[in-house]
Amino acid sequence: MCTRKCSRVVGVGLWPLALTCTICNLLLCFPDWDTQYVQGGGRLLTPEVLYLGGLVGGGAMILIPAIHIQATSRQACCGNRCGMFLSILFALVGVAGSVYAVSVSALGLVNGPLCQVREDNGSLSTWAQPFRSAHEELSEQSYLFNTSTWDACVNPPGVIRFNVTLFSLVLVAALMELLLCGVQVLNGLFGCLCGTCNKKQDRGPKQSLH
């Protein structure tokens, strides 16, 4: 495949993934579809939501590379060796952003949500992450593999299922972003060394002979 065509595929593919990460991160701010949890500086939100892995890492830090990478597919724009070299730098920014999004979403899944559970005496506990101290590592004992515990959090209602679904979407989308940005690093390298299938721009304008 021509390096310019490959850039087009990568650039187009990054847009919906970045949009997915952004939307999921924003939705995570409204557990139970209620705005009360985002008030007061978000102190009732799961800490990993406030790290903005999907909004910053998988969103903004991917959209910027996506714009330039897609531009390298156009003959009249950045579809030359210089444009390909810059696409490597932008793709590395995307790699950093996707790694951040993967790390935050994985941490959000492992640690579990911030919530209140019902104590033995019937009262509600203080706000905490009850599953964070329940395990040292991801294993079969994790709440992720024991759905019978997903109703343990009383407030916000259904927050475990809510967080698991959205953090999982961010994780999958960010992994795909990481793959595409990695492909573009290699594609940009080939574009710098071998050209972009646009010989006129790669070699420069031919001088007329007199």
pLDDT of residue 208: 41
Show the tokens assigned to 163: 């967080």
Q: Is residue 130 part of a domain?
A: no
Number of domains in the chain: 1
Residue 147 lies in a domain: no
Structural domain including 183 reads: 3-112+166-203
Instruction: Judge whether 126 lies within some domain.
Output: no
CA–CA gap between residue 84 and residue 101 (Å, rounded): 25
Q: Please tell me the predicted confidence (pLDDT) of residue 80.
A: 66
What does the pLDDT read at residue 41?
A: 82
CB-based contact 82:191 (threshold 8 Å): no
Report DSSP state, residue 118: B
Structural domain contains residue 92? yes
pLDDT at 54: 96
Q: For the chain, which ranges sit under pLDDT 70?
A: 1, 73-81, 133-140, 195-210
**Tell me, what's the pLDDT at 2?**
74
The Cα–Cα gap between 59 and 22 comes to 5
pLDDT score recorded for residue 107: 96
Please provide residue 163's backbone torsions phi and psi, each rounded to the nearest 5 degrees: -65, -45
